[in-house]
Amino acid sequence: MKNHTTRSILIDPVAKTITEIMVPLIGANTHFHKIIGCESSDQVDFGSGVMLSIDDDGLSRITRDTKTPRQVTQGFFVTHANGVPRHLIAGKGILWTYDSEGETVDLPPWVTPALIQQHVAFVADHHRNAAADLCQEILSQAGVAFGPEQIQIHQRRYADIVRRALALTEKTTGGTQ
């Protein structure tokens, strides 16, 4: 009998947790959107066939407290490989994978919260405003890149911003559940 759910992993930068979750297969994308808290998502290749779904508008839609001084209330995390910063993510993310037919399937058994914890660093709560500023910097410098030279310049700028974001992370990574 076919399984009706898929094993995924939720990265929650507010709770600072990396948790295994089960998501219904029918309408998996809709469920991902609800869990992440967005209407449309973007996918980041996490490597080895594992994808990270994130809020497509996460960098531009930063949540803030309604009272002055309007502190940023959402969380951020940085992905890295062997200590090399890769991405600054605003909001939650869900790791998932798909099969050769493009169908969402369970993550491989070796993809565990403990493994993912080694590749994720949460921005410290007292650095949320600075992380939001870095998101704005990413958006303002993104522009349109034509040709290999412009693409390289864009990639270097982005890498510099993500390195600066990694400096805002907590000294110890978040817990797993």
Nearest to 41 by CA among 56, 26, 30: 56
Mean pLDDT in residue range 137-156: 80
* Band of residue 176 on the pLDDT scale cut at 50, 70, 90: very low
Give the mean pLDDT of the chain.
88
Q: What is the largest CA-CA distance in the chain?
A: 55
Q: Does residue 124 register a pLDDT over 70? A: yes
Mean pLDDT in residue range 103-128: 94
Ramachandran region, residue 83 (left: φ > 0; alpha: ψ -120 to 50; beta: rest)? left
**What are 9-48's pLDDT values in tens digits?**
999 999 999 999 999 988 888 889 999 998 889 999 888 8
* Band of residue 93 on the pLDDT scale cut at 50, 70, 90: very high
Residue-level pLDDT at 148: 86
Q: Which H, E and C letters describe 32-51, residue by residue? A: HHHHHCCCCEEEEEEECCEE
* Band of residue 82 on the pLDDT scale cut at 50, 70, 90: confident
Backbone phi and psi for residue 152, each to the nearest 5 degrees, phi listed first: -65, -40
> Residues near 75 by Cβ (< 8 Å), separated by ≥ 6?
12, 13, 14, 15, 16, 91, 92, 122, 123, 125, 128
Q: Does residue 174 register a pLDDT over 50? A: no
Instruction: Provide the 10 A C-beta neighbour count for residue 84.
Output: 11
Q: Does residue 115 register a pLDDT over 90? A: yes
* Band of residue 175 on the pLDDT scale cut at 50, 70, 90: very low
